[in-house]
Chain A
Amino acid sequence: MWGGFRGCGRVLLLAGAARHCGRPHSRTQRLFSTSSALSTTKDESTASTDSAATAATKEGAEETPKQKLLKIIGNMKVEVTTKRKFQQLKEQEIKKQAANKQEGLDGGSSTEGDVQRSKPLNPELVQAASAVASSFPHSREQAESELLAQLRRHEETTDKQRRGETINIRNVISEMAVKRQSPAQRGVSISRRISLEMDEDGQRIKPGRPSSCSFDSGRSLKAGKRLNIFTKASPEMENALKTVSSPTIWDLEFAKEIAAVTEQPPRNGFEEMIQWTKEGILWEFPIDNEAGMDDGAEFHEHIFLEKHLQDFPKQGPIRHFMELVICGLSKNPYLSVKQKIEHIDWFRNYFEEKKEYLQEKNKQASQTFGT
Chain B
Amino acid sequence: MAASALCWALRAARQVLPSQTRSYYVDWRMLRDVKRRKLAYEYADERLRINAIRKNTILPKELQEVADREIAALPRDSCHVRIRNRCVLTSRPRGVKRRWRLSRIVFRHFADHAQMSGIQRAMW
Q: Which residues of A contact B (CB under 8 A)?
A: 317-318, 320-321, 324-325, 343, 346-347, 350, 354, 357-358, 361
Give B48-69 as 1s and 0s: 1 = Cβ < 8 Å from A's Cβ atoms.
0100110010111011001000
Interchain CA distance A320-B56 in the complex, whole Å: 11
Residues of A within 8 A of B46 (CB): 346
Shortest distance between the CB of A365 and any CB in chain B (Å): 9
Tell me the minimal C-beta distance from A331 to chain B in angstroms: 15
The answer on a CB contact under 8 Å between A354 and B49 is no
Q: Tell me whether B66 and A357 are in contact (CB under 8 A).
A: yes
Specify which chain A residues have a CB less than 8 angstroms from the CB of B63 in the assembled complex.
Answer: 354, 358
CB contacts (< 8 Å) of A317 on chain B: these are 58-60
A108 CA to B63 CA, complexed, in Å: 125
Q: Which chain A residues border B53 with CB–CB below 8 Å?
A: 321, 350
Known: A357-B66, A358-B63. A350 touches B58 (CB 8 A): no
Which residues of B approach A to under 8 Å, CB–CB? 45-46, 49, 52-53, 56, 58-60, 62-63, 66
Nearest-Cβ distance from residue A8 to partner chain B, whole angstroms: 103
26 pairs, CB–CB < 8 Å, chain A vs chain B: A317-B58, A317-B59, A317-B60, A318-B59, A320-B58, A321-B53, A321-B56, A321-B58, A321-B59, A324-B58, A325-B52, A343-B45, A343-B49, A346-B45, A346-B46, A346-B49, A347-B49, A350-B49, A350-B53, A354-B63, A354-B66, A357-B66, A358-B60, A358-B62, A358-B63, A361-B62
The complex places the Cα of A263 from the Cα of B45 at a distance, in Å, of 42
Complex CA–CA separation, A318 to B56 (angstroms): 11
| Cα(A40)–Cα(B46), bound, Å | 123
A350: B residues at CB distance < 8 A: 49, 53
* A72 smallest CB distance to B (angstroms): 101
> Cβ of A318: which chain B residues have Cβ within 8 Å of it?
59
Measured CB to CB, the closest approach of chain B to A322, in angstroms, equals 10
Question: Which residue on B lies nearest to A346, using beta carbons?
Answer: B49
- State A325–B49 Cα separation when bound (angstroms): 10
How far apart are B14's CB and chain A's nearest CB, in angstroms?
Answer: 20
Greatest chain A CB density within 10 A among B53, B58, B59 is at B58
Q: What's the nearest-Cβ distance from chain B to residue A133, in Å?
A: 88
The chain B residue with its CB closest to the CB of A358 is B62
**Bound Cα distance from A354 to B59, whole angstroms:** 12
Chain B residues with CB below 8 A from A324, complex form: 58
Given A321-B56, A343-B45, A346-B45, 4 other A-B contacts at CB below 8 A?
A317-B60, A346-B49, A358-B62, A361-B62
A111-B63 Cα distance, complex, nearest whole Å: 126
Q: Kindly report which residue of chain A lies nearest to residue B52, judged by CB atoms.
A: A325
Cα separation A324 to B60 with both chains bound (whole Å): 16
CA distance A325 to B56 in the complex (A): 12
